[in-house]
């Protein structure tokens, strides 16, 4: 018996009942059509949501969190941030700290989610910059709310939110292949001097790690600063007069690695940034990504160019195009100040993000920086900002916990991870300008939502 047939206890013969049955059938048919239409709407909405998260097939969608606006007051996206980008970092809650420099010197811009922007001068760094012309190569958030800054030949500094700066590791101003700098044992920080501080990272317990260039032979040393004492944990210093060894840590066995303290690490970029996560310190050397197990002080290759021929051409964000161990890392040339390496780790998922050049060796993949450049629902001023991004900015790659390598986006100069987002710092100058200088640089920070942690 049909579900629409009259029940046995009812009389079935009246005309009014027949008309009512026909109306019910038509109503149900109409409801089914409406349900089908609603289902199509839901599917379409889901597709839009996916695109809002991932962007178009070629690019991700971002939102501005600081800069890109035209106002002198208000929250982050409304503000115009004048000055050349130096570096940027965030804490785990998504509070942003952006360092810029203009003709008057260094500035620190800070902004939290939905809060007004704070802008302060950092006069102590202006005095350092006036003497040496050093750039802030990397920043790292400290547990007390301050920020560590790697300042090349000016050493390692710490800056508070109100713009007070203090020297943590003094510069040597000479090659460090002599005296107490090159040691394996602990040294009080007051006796330590650095030749060039090229990167800095902070562990979960507040331990500070920094990279130091030994001398002009490009031997990179990695140090730990804890309880007022400095210890070299990775990188082998060269004795005076010794030739640079033909060694490559990218060739270490991924499973066993090697002793970090006796591994020679060559410097091939203008910056050697660091990122710490759960006992592992990641090092971007400019031609590879290494990780140091800080408990055992062994070093392992992560992105090492083992078999670049196995890599595919990337065709969409977050889609693996090969294994990280085979990945090609093209760092910045020493004289290329607009294409700096960067690195960050999502502490919730363990996924690694780093900046580099082309995904494959050769000259036929340079379009990656245009094809994967980030987009989104931008205001007119934000679109103008994006349209005048500086041309040599890097592509961001992801290494997930399975070792798969993906392109995320392009058009970045520095990056950080916090509160489930990837934060990307960028700068621009008007395309109509004949020359980019301190008078027309603009800086900004955008962010994109990262994939949720997998179970």
Q: Please give the mean pLDDT across all residues of the chain.
A: 81
DSSP code at position 103: T
**pLDDT exceeds cutoff 80 at 180:** no
DSSP code at position 174: S
Q: Please give the Cα distance from 384 to 27 (Å, whole number).
A: 53
Q: How far apart, in Å, are the Cα atoms of 138 and each of 74, 156, 178, 260, 363?
A: 27, 10, 27, 22, 29
Q: Please give the Cα distance from 114 to 112 (Å, whole number).
A: 6
As a whole number of Å, the end-to-end CA separation of the chain is 48
**What is the pLDDT averaged over residues 285-308?**
95
**What is the pLDDT averaged over residues 196-215?**
92
Q: Which of 182, 176, 103, 90 is nearest to 138 (CA)?
A: 90
Q: Residue 319: its pLDDT value, please?
A: 94
Structure tokens at 133: 């012309």
pLDDT band for position 90 (cuts 50, 70, 90): very high
**333 versus 432: which is more confidently predicted?**
432
**pLDDT exceeds cutoff 80 at 14:** no
Q: How far apart, in Å, are the Cα atoms of 208 and each of 158, 182, 205, 360?
A: 11, 18, 9, 34
Residue 420 CB-density burial (10 A; 0-12 exposed, 13-18 middle, 19+ buried): middle
Q: Please give the Cα distance from 22 to 397 (Å, whole number).
A: 62
Angle ∠(9,11,16) on CA atoms, nearest 5: 135
Q: Residue 37: its pLDDT value, please?
A: 45
Token look-up 């140091």 returns 292
| CB half-sphere exposure, 227, CA atoms < 13 A | 1
Q: Please give the Cα distance from 283 to 432 (Å, whole number).
A: 38
Q: Residue 434: its pLDDT value, please?
A: 73
233 close to 260: Cβ distance less than 8 angstroms: yes
Least confident among 25-29, 194-198, 200-204, 378-382:
25-29
**370 versus 15: which is more confidently predicted?**
370
Q: Residue 54: its pLDDT value, please?
A: 39
Q: Residue 13: its pLDDT value, please?
A: 42
Kind of pairing between the strands at 442-449 and 421-428: antiparallel
**pLDDT exceeds cutoff 60 at 338:** no
Most confidently predicted of 93-97, 289-293, 358-362, 385-389 = 289-293
**What is the pLDDT averaged over residues 266-286?**
90
Q: Residue 382: its pLDDT value, please?
A: 94
pLDDT digits (tens, 9 = 90+) for 228-256: 999 999 998 887 767 778 889 999 999 99
Q: Please give the Cα distance from 358 to 322 (Å, whole number).
A: 14
Structure tokens at 327: 């990945």
pLDDT digits (tens, 9 = 90+) for 310-321: 999 998 999 999
**184 versus 61: which is more confidently predicted?**
61
Kind of pairing between the strands at 165-171 and 193-194: parallel
Kind of pairing between the strands at 274-277 and 320-323: unpaired
Q: Please give the Cα distance from 231 to 82 (Å, whole number).
A: 39
**pLDDT exceeds cutoff 50 at 341:** yes
Q: How far apart, in Å, are the Cα atoms of 66 and each of 46, 135, 376, 438, 440?
A: 29, 21, 15, 19, 17
Residue 37 parent element (H or E)? helix 15-54
Q: Please give the Cα distance from 92 to 420 (Å, whole number).
A: 9
Q: Which of 362, 243, 375, 376 is nearest to 308 (CA)?
A: 362
Residue 75 CB-density burial (10 A; 0-12 exposed, 13-18 middle, 19+ buried): middle
334 close to 272: Cβ distance less than 8 angstroms: no
Q: Which of 65, 38, 62, 64 is nearest to 52 (CA)?
A: 62
**What is the pLDDT averaged over residues 46-72?**
69
């Amino acid at each position: 018996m049909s579900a629409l047939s009259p029940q046995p206890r009812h009389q079935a013969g009246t005309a009014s009942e027949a008309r009512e049955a026909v109306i019910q059938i038509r109503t149900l048919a109409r409801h089914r059509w409406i349900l089908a239409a609603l289902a199509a709407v839901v599917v379409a909405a889901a597709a839009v949501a996916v695109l809002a998260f991932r962007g178009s097939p070629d690019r991700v969608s971002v939102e501005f969190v600081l800069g890109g606006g035209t106002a002198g007051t208000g929250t982050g996206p409304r503000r115009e941030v004048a000055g050349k980008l130096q570096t940027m970092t965030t804490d785990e809650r998504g509070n942003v700290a952006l360092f810029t420099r203009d003709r008057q010197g260094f500035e620190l811009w800070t902004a939290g989610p939905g809060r007004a922007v704070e802008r302060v001068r950092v006069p102590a760094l202006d005095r350092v910059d006036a003497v040496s012309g050093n750039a802030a190569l990397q920043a790292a958030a400290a547990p007390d709310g301050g920020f560590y800054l790697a300042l090349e030949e000016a050493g390692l500094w710490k800056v508070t939110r109100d713009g007070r700066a203090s020297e943590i590791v003094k510069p040597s101003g000479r090659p460090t292949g002599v005296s107490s700098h090159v040691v394996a044992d602990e040294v009080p920080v007051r006796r330590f001097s650095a030749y060039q501080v090229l990167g800095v990272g902070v562990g979960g317990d507040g331990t500070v790690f920094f990279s130091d260039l030994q001398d002009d032979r490009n031997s990179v040393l990695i140090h730990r600063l804890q309880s007022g004492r400095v210890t070299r944990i990775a990188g082998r210093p060269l004795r005076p007069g010794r030739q640079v060894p033909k060694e490559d840590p990218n060739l270490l066995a991924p499973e066993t690695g090697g002793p970090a303290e006796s591994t020679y690490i060559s410097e091939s970029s203008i910056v050697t940034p660091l990122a710490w996560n759960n006992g592992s310190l990641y090092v971007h050397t400019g031609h590879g990504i290494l990780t140091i197990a800080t408990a055992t002080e062994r070093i392992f290759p992560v992105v090492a160019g083992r078999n670049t021929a196995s890599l595919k051409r990337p065709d969409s964000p977050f889609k693996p195009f090969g294994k990280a161990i085979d990945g090609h890392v093209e760092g910045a040339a020493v004289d290329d100040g607009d294409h700096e390496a960067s690195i960050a780790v999502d502490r919730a998922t363990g996924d690694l993000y780093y900046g580099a050049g082309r995904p494959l060796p050769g000259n036929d993949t340079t379009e990656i920086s245009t094809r994967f450049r980030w987009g989104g629902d931008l205001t007119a001023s934000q679109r103008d900002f994006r349209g005048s991004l500086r041309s040599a900015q890097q592509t961001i790659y992801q290494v997930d916990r399975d070792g798969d390598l993906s392109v995320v986006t392009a058009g970045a100069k520095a990056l950080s991870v916090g509160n489930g987002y990837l934060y990307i710092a960028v700068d621009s100058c008007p395309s109509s300008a004949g020359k980019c200088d301190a008078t027309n640089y603009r800086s900004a920070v955008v962010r994109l939502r990262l994939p949720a942690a997998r179970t």
